[in-house]
Amino acid sequence: MNYFDENYDDEKRWMSYFYQVKEVLAFKPESVLVIGKGNGLVAEYLKLRGVKVITIDIDENTKPDIIASVIKMPFRDSEFDIILCAQVLEHLPYGDFEKSLLEIKRVAKLGAVISLPHFGPAIRFLFKFPFFPEIKFMIKVPYPKKHIYKGEHYFEIGKKGFGLRKIKKDFKKAGIFITKDYIVFENPLHHFFILRKQ
């Protein structure tokens, strides 16, 4: 995958980067583990903000600090304040989802920021009146399509068998408390989960 292709880093993905940074910094962390380095943009920005960042990826071409899988990470328990794992877990078979969550929980001291793809069309509304803040809201249109693996995503929220309720249930099963979850208004394919250890 070319993480520097202009088709990859479009306006929607930049908005996702913004929310990744915003949610991670909201924890006021001293250390962050970024799972899935990608183009390294978010990791580099967090470093510029004075955060100690370690990156991990199975793709050595991304030049991560550590080459390893999220299923078995070579770190101590609670080694990092926060874990950032954006658009990564869908690249693993769903049978590994809970294993990944348990490993993320193990190495996180405070919590994690995870984003996953959320399939389906969205109807978005934005109202802006002078002297008042913007009002935004979105409705995801149910579209129960069966997911077919085509070499990239093993699952996506919103497809048959992968409803949001199921995903949330698996977070709970792994002992991770969801403090907030939302779909990015500017990028309705990215669903964020802000998590704290129970």
Q: Is 188 domain-assigned?
A: yes
Q: Is 2 domain-assigned?
A: no
Structural domain span for residue 78 = 11-197
- pLDDT-based confidence at 121, cuts 50/70/90? very high
41: domain CATH number is 3.40.50.150
At 18-75, the pLDDT tens digits run 999 999 999 999 999 999 999 999 999 999 999 999 999 999 999 999 999 999 999 9
Helix (H, G, I), strand (E, B) or coil at 11: helix
Q: Enumerate residues 6+ apart whose C-beta is below 8 A from 137.
A: 124, 125
Q: Is 26 domain-assigned?
A: yes
Residues 7, 56 contacting (CB under 8 angstroms): no
Name the nearest CA neighbour of 116 among 135, 96, 97: 97
Q: Is 3 domain-assigned?
A: no
Q: Is 4 domain-assigned?
A: no
Q: Is 6 domain-assigned?
A: no
Mean pLDDT over 151-180 rounds to 94
Q: pTM to 2 decimals?
A: 0.93
Q: Which residue has the tokens 């995958």?
A: 1
Instruction: Please tell me the total count of domains within the chain.
Output: 1
Q: Is 60 domain-assigned?
A: yes
Name the nearest CA neighbour of 114 among 15, 14, 19: 19
